[in-house]
């Protein structure tokens, strides 16, 4: 019998598992991310290690995974904005296709927002590929609002991404 998914922070020593799930997410959902599979595949093992090691000590990063039966089934990264410490950016959000529609994305997003609150953020922001997608519905249901006009998903792309923000009401904290 399957257990319920758990959400937890990735440890620096889990860089290979992080790399694997990140590459899987880019291969499976190539039009959902600002980065590309080709770009991420170019990273060395040391670069993957450094990404998680830096996150572990920065106090500004929160790489989260959803795990079920010891298998990583989802990923999200929350990071304090480098130019505005009252804002947290959410990116790398992904749930394995075979686990979609089961609330895993909501669980990951809730934990990322809770982390932002603990870091006294006033706003959580993200970009999402335009369209009537489950990702857009997830963010809308969580209270995110569209901000500004859509922009290219990545340089030179015809795909568009929409910025969304969630204002963290201190009274709701």
Q: Tell me, what's the pLDDT at 169? A: 78
How far apart are the C-alpha atoms of 74 and 22, rounded to whole Å? Answer: 9
How far apart are the C-alpha atoms of 117 and 121, rounded to whole Å? Answer: 5
- Is the separation of the CB atoms in 35 and 92 below 8 Å? no
- CA angle at 40 for the pair 73 and 126, rounded to the nearest 5°: 65
pLDDT, tens digit, 9 for 90 and up, residues 46-91: 999 999 999 999 999 999 999 999 999 999 999 999 999 999 999 9
Q: What fold does the segment set 6-172 form as a domain?
A: Aminopeptidase (3.40.630)
The residue written with tokens 């929160």 in the block is 62
Q: Can you point out the beta strands (E) in the chain?
A: 6-9, 61-68, 71-81, 84-95, 123-129, 145-152, 160-167
- Is the separation of the CB atoms in 18 and 8 below 8 Å? no
> How confident is the model over 141-160, as a mean pLDDT?
93
> How confident is the model over 4-28, as a mean pLDDT?
96
Residue 157 binned pLDDT confidence (cut-offs 50, 70, 90) = confident
Within 10 angstroms of residue 123's Cβ, the number of other Cβ atoms is 16
pLDDT, tens digit, 9 for 90 and up, residues 26-42: 999 999 999 999 999 99
- Is the separation of the CB atoms in 90 and 127 below 8 Å? no
> How confident is the model over 124-149, as a mean pLDDT?
94
- Is the separation of the CB atoms in 107 and 95 below 8 Å? no
Q: Is 91 helix (H, G, I), strand (E, B) or coil?
A: strand
Q: Tell me, what's the pLDDT at 47? A: 96
Average pLDDT across the chain, whole number: 93
* pLDDT at 171 > cutoff 60: no
Locate the domains of the chain by residue range: 6-172
Q: Tell me, what's the pLDDT at 1? A: 43
Reported pTM: 0.93
């Amino acid at each position: 019998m399957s257990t319920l998914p758990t959400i937890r922070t990735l440890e620096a020593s889990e860089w290979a598992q992080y790399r694997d799930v990140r590459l899987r997410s880019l291969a499976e959902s190539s039009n959902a991310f600002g980065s590309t599979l080709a770009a991420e595949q170019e990273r060395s093992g040391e670069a993957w290690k450094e990404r998680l090691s830096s996150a572990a000590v920065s106090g500004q990063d929160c790489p989260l995974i959803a795990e079920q039966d010891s298998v990583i089934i989802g990923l999200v990264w929350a990071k304090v904005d480098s130019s505005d410490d009252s804002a947290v950016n959410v990116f790398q959000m992904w749930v394995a296709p075979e686990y979609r529609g089961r609330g895993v994305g909501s669980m990951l997003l809730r934990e990322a927002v809770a982390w932002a609150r603990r870091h006294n953020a006033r706003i959580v922001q993200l970009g999402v590929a335009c369209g009537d997608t489950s990702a857009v519905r997830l963010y809308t249901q969580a209270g995110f609002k569209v901000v500004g006009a859509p922009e290219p998903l990545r340089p030179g792309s015809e795909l568009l991404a929409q910025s969304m923000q969630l204002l963290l009401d201190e009274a709701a904290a």
